[in-house]
Structure 1
């Protein structure tokens, strides 16, 4: 049980495995200002940057759950680096089946709603771990501009236009699920660039060091196509944000 190697190659230098900069992640923490001691469950936690930095900056405690052994190793190293290893822990597991043993004040899934087969299922999964009055954090892409054709849809790594909503439609969906949207912090084009463009250098450095690897042809093809695809499609059409929800 692990992520394909291509994921860890692309994101080898990333601390945040989504289109957020460290500044936006810090802003998100500031907007909700969790009280010290708040427990946070982070499903599909990646390299644990949110949990580790919020433990340092806000005194939260909690657990990150992820399927990637590479990302979990990085998360534990980050916790030690920031001096919060006694306040956070990381579990190697399929996040889609994980429910906290005790209710938490914040339940999060940042950019991985496939663990619940979409937004609705992920909200329901997070609710199973959430204490009354707690907050859910959902990271989710949306159409920044509606795509005009199928080429644009596929250029944004989607199969169908209906795979994503516009931002107003996404906010309406949260409401239809019985949630108040109480905050949001969204990526901009620059933070998308920092996430995606950094992958190109990661891939190139990996290719230079591993020219005979069985993934080399696949990663070379990706690097050749990715910059134009990002500029033509993803940068213009894809939005992404973290939405803070509370049950009504």
Structure 2
């Protein structure tokens, strides 16, 4: 079980697999008013930076599930580095359908809502692990400006314009699901640049270290096209944020 190889390569040096910076992760933890002993479930936990830093800074207890073998291993290493391995657990597995044995205070899916077939299905899945009165966290892209054509949307790696909403419509959609939006922290341009541009050096280093790998042509093609694609499309049209929800 693993994610497509290209993602393990392009994001292999990332600690955060979304457009958040470490400062934004800290801001989110503060915004949620996390207290020691708060139980957090993170579906699609990546390399574990959110749970590990929150365990260090706020004293939370966390469980993360991720399909990437590499990222799961990196999460465990990070927990050891920050001396929080006794507070956080990382499971290499499929987060789709995962329900915690013990109800949690915060149930999160930060940037992987495909596990529930979209935002609504992911919220429904997370709610199964959540205690009454708990908080759901959803990390999701939105349009900063509406793409003028479907081709522009595809340049942002969206299937179509309808894949994402403008921010006001995204916030309204949570209300349509009978949830209050109680907090939000939005990525900024620096976060987007760090998330996307950091992939380019990683790809170049991988190509230098693996000159005979048959997959090299795919990595080379992506490295050649990504800077211009990102600057033309994603950087101009896409936003990203984490939204804290409570059931009404």
TM-score interval, normalised by the smaller of the two chains: over 0.9
Alignment of 1:133-172 (within 5 A): 133-172=133-172
Return the offset for 1:245.
0.6
Q: Which whole-Å CA distance do the structure 2 matches of 1:159 and 1:51 have between them?
A: 31
Asked whether the 8 Å contact 2:12–2:71 carries over to 1, the reply is no
Q: Which whole-Å CA distance do the structure 2 matches of 1:193 and 1:62 have between them?
A: 28
Q: Does 1:9 align with 2:13?
A: no
Return the offset for 1:151.
2.0
Q: Does 1:217 align with 2:217?
A: yes
Aligned residue-pair number: 248
Q: Which whole-Å CA distance do the structure 2 matches of 1:222 and 1:93 have between them?
A: 27
Return the offset for 1:150.
2.0
Report the 3-state secondary structure (helix = DSSP H, G, I; strand = E; otherwise coil) of the residue aligned with 1:108: strand
Q: With structure 1 as the length reference, what TM-score do the two structures score?
A: 0.99
RMSD: 0.7
- In structure 2, what is the equivalent of residue 73 of structure 1? 73
Return the offset for 1:173.
0.6
Q: Does 1:34 align with 2:39?
A: no
Report the 3-state secondary structure (helix = DSSP H, G, I; strand = E; otherwise coil) of the residue aligned with 1:185: strand
- In structure 2, what is the equivalent of residue 19 of structure 1? 19
Q: Which whole-Å CA distance do the structure 2 matches of 1:158 and 1:136 have between them?
A: 24
Return the offset for 1:3.
1.1
- In structure 2, what is the equivalent of residue 195 of structure 1? 195
Q: Which whole-Å CA distance do the structure 1 matches of 2:92 and 2:141 have between them?
A: 25
Unaligned runs of 5+ in 2: none
Return the offset for 1:62.
1.7
Unaligned runs of 5+ in 1: none
Return the offset for 1:160.
0.9
- In structure 2, what is the equivalent of residue 174 of structure 1? 174
Q: Which whole-Å CA distance do the structure 2 matches of 1:147 and 1:180 have between them?
A: 28
- In structure 1, what is the equivalent of residue 108 of structure 2? 108
